[in-house]
Amino acid sequence: MDKVTYPKVSFIIPTLNEEKNIARCLQAIRTQDYPPDKIEIIVADGGSTDKTVEIAKSFGAHVVKNIIKHQEPGKTMAAKHATGDMLFYTDADNVLARNTWLKLMTKPYMDDPTIMGFLPQTIPAPDTNSMDKYFGYLCTEPFTWFVYGHATTPRDYGNLYTPIKQTGSYRLYQFPSNNHPLLGLAQGFGTNKHFKRDEEASGDDITAGIRIVEQHGKIAYVPNAGIYHYHINDLNNFIRKYTWRVKNNLSQTVKKMGLTHRKQYYSSIRKIRMGLFIPYALTVVFPTIDAIRMSIRFHDPVMLWHIPLSWILAVIIIKETVSFYLCRNTKPLGLYEK
């Protein structure tokens, strides 16, 4: 039997004080059932003052200094050092859910090296809190879920898009640019080495995903390649993180990042849904209906978090928007929304 020749892969990981997460992330990469000499890890560190760099180097990662400090420029910087045929954009709070993840994700590329994007499925981590599991099922936060609908998560793409090819291990899509799904260079999303982020897409992971769609790139969804995203620790963490994001969307302290930049690519229907989110969330009735529906679908009551988190996010948006336009507060924000 001929020996299988696997492609070389590069994991792109931006970090800043991630000592609590980075070992778990890198351990899952290093224990893959995949030729070790075909795995490269590049960490773009924004100046960690904890043991992040030390831990990364102990796993054989190549660490580069991210002088801009922010995540998205760090990914772009790290990608320039990558030598792999495929690049997987992975955050420090991501963990590959199985040791065959790389074999599953590289299979479409081995079938067709012209495929531009490779999409795993975000799933809830079994050892995390109930709120974080809710985000794992939703694959985003309530606002973006409301705007994108079935285009939020690849498990629901079948309701909107027809694959151009379907095999036992993946589905191949070519998405319309006027109705793109929620794609971002994060959570294990992979690209082939020929895809380059342009300056317009350098500050936002979702805009970079839109670029692939605009270039008519083929994207393979690999449903069995699950990835955990340890996103939220508790309610206070949720409020801090999304207050930061809303503030940055308004002030653009981190340029070209977030909704302010990416909404230019939204269809008219999605722009209307943006405006409807606040009344949707504040009614409580409609989030309750959706929460019950999702709890039944996933057989998990953690989806009831959709009710309070939708309401809280709506209040954050109202509060920060009013504060911004009344005070024009452009005070610099923290580097990351931790």
pLDDT digits (tens, 9 = 90+) for 312-335: 999 999 999 999 888 865 554 554
In a shared domain, residues 169 and 318: no
Please give the Cα distance from 261 to 266 (Å, whole number).
Answer: 10
As given in the structure block, the two tokens for residue 30 are 């290093």
pLDDT value of position 263: 84
- Cα(256)–Cα(290) distance, rounded to whole angstroms? 32
pLDDT digits (tens, 9 = 90+) for 8-32: 999 999 999 999 999 999 999 999 9
pTM reported for the whole predicted model: 0.92
Which ranges constitute the DSSP H helices of 156-216?
A: 205-214
- Per the domain annotation, does 1 fall within a domain? no
Residue 39 β-bridge partners: 9
Q: Please check whether residues 211 and 244 belong to one and the same domain.
A: no
Mean pLDDT in residue range 185-207: 84
- Please check whether residues 76 and 217 belong to one and the same domain: yes
Q: Which whole number is the average pLDDT over 228-235?
A: 96
- Please list the alpha-helical segments (H only) found in the chain: 22-30, 52-58, 71-81, 101-111, 130-138, 142-148, 205-214, 235-251, 259-262, 268-283, 285-298, 306-327
* Confidence (pLDDT) at 200: 62
In total, how many domains does the chain have?
2
Which of 229, 259, 285 marks a domain boundary?
Answer: 229
pLDDT in tens, 65-74: 988 878 888 8
Confidence of residue 1 (pLDDT cuts 50, 70, 90): very low
When pLDDT is cut at 50, 70 and 90, the band that residue 204 belongs to is confident
- Give yes or no for residue 223 having a pLDDT over 50: yes
CATH number, domain of 204, equals: 3.90.550.10
For residue 265, the enclosing domain spans: 235-327
pLDDT at 201: 60
Residue 258 located in a structural domain: yes
- The answer to whether residue 55 scores a pLDDT higher than 80 is yes
The pLDDT value recorded for residue 261 is 76
How high is the mean pLDDT of the chain? Answer: 92
DSSP character for 263? Answer: G
Q: What angle do CA 135, 28, 152 make, to 5 degrees?
A: 25
* Residues 225, 239 share a domain: no
pLDDT at 154: 96
How far from each other are the two terminal CA atoms of the chain, in whole angstroms? 50
Q: Examine the pLDDT at 338 and tell me if it is beyond 50.
A: no
124 and 197, same structural domain?
yes
pLDDT band, very low/low/confident/very high, at 171 (cuts 50, 70, 90) = very high
CA distance 21 to 48: 13
Report the pLDDT averaged over residues 262-286: 94
Average pLDDT over residues 42-51: 95
Could you tell me if 64 and 169 lie in one domain?
Answer: yes
Based on the domain organization, do 172 and 265 belong to the same domain?
Answer: no
Contact 22, 89 (CB under 8 A): no
**Residues 311 and 284 placed together within one structural domain of the fold:** yes
Rounded to whole angstroms, the Cα distance separating 221 from 117 reads 9
Angle among Cα 267, 202, 330 to the nearest 5 degrees reads 85
Residue 3 neighbours by CB distance under 10 Å: 5
Q: Is the pLDDT of residue 170 over 60?
A: yes
Residue 134: its pLDDT value, please? 98
Q: Which of 229, 263, 298 is the last residue of a domain?
A: 229
pLDDT of residue 335: 47
Q: Where a domain ends, among 180, 211, 229?
A: 229
